[in-house]
Amino acid sequence: MALRTFDEVKLDIDDIETLLPQAKRQKTKDLLGLELRKLQTELVKLKDIERQANEGSKPLPTNSDSKCYTIKLTNYAWDDSDNFMKLYITLKNVHTLPAENITCDFEETSMHLRVNGLDKKNYHLPISNLCEAINPDKSYTKTKTDMIVVFLAKRTAKRWSHVSGIEKRLKEAKALPVPNMGDGDNAEAGLMNLMKKMYTEGDDDMKRTIAKAWTESQQKKGLSGPDFPNM
């Protein structure tokens, strides 16, 4: 199957983003959201291919050689204001890298930060489902001593409750009353079933977020039980 063009994928994303607000059933919204994330990931890959093609035969920076392996970043601090969501990523000696070794692809609902050739390692921070829409053209990064700051320019000036939409939905799901569950053990079992369903149907980010919430909950109870039950 021929590789689709950047414009084709972007048009598909625009169509789904138009349909999402019109969807009434949650299942339909979930399916559209899943397809949207897939298309956004495809768009990022096409951008990488286009960037590599444009670079042509230019030599890679000295620090970015074939022996590098990629580490996926999951930890960062964040600070929220009306106009920007700021992410703080700590990486020792990152300020010593050439500027071209640090890139960040911004889309309306996603961002992918890449750091190449830092002490023979590449780093990748992907957030494919931001809590709210951003303005890619006004978003940017700054490199400081041992740190990268990502400035996500908000499409609408308002505070975010979380960085990712997955974290937001998980919190909202916990807060929702679950019907016909009763009290005590029955209520806890009902909530557990709901989280299991979200875990089973969710992507990797959703699974990681739910597992983290489960572990923290167990620790607060003074328990040292197993990881979140997988179904």
Question: pTM, whole model, 2 decimals?
Answer: 0.53
Write down the pLDDT at residue 60. Answer: 46
Q: Which residues of 128-163 are buried (b: 16+ CB within 10 A; e: fewer)?
A: bbbbbebebeebebebeeeebbbbbebeeeeebebb
Amino acid at 222: G
Q: How far apart are CA 216 and CA 150, in angstroms?
A: 27
pLDDT along the chain (231 residues), means of 10: 67 77 78 78 76 57 59 91 95 94 94 93 91 94 96 94 80 58 54 67 68 69 56 42
Pick the CATH number of 69-153 from 3.40.50.150, 2.60.40.790, 2.102.10.10, 3.60.20.10: 2.60.40.790
Question: Which pair of tokens denotes residue 178?
Answer: 């679950």
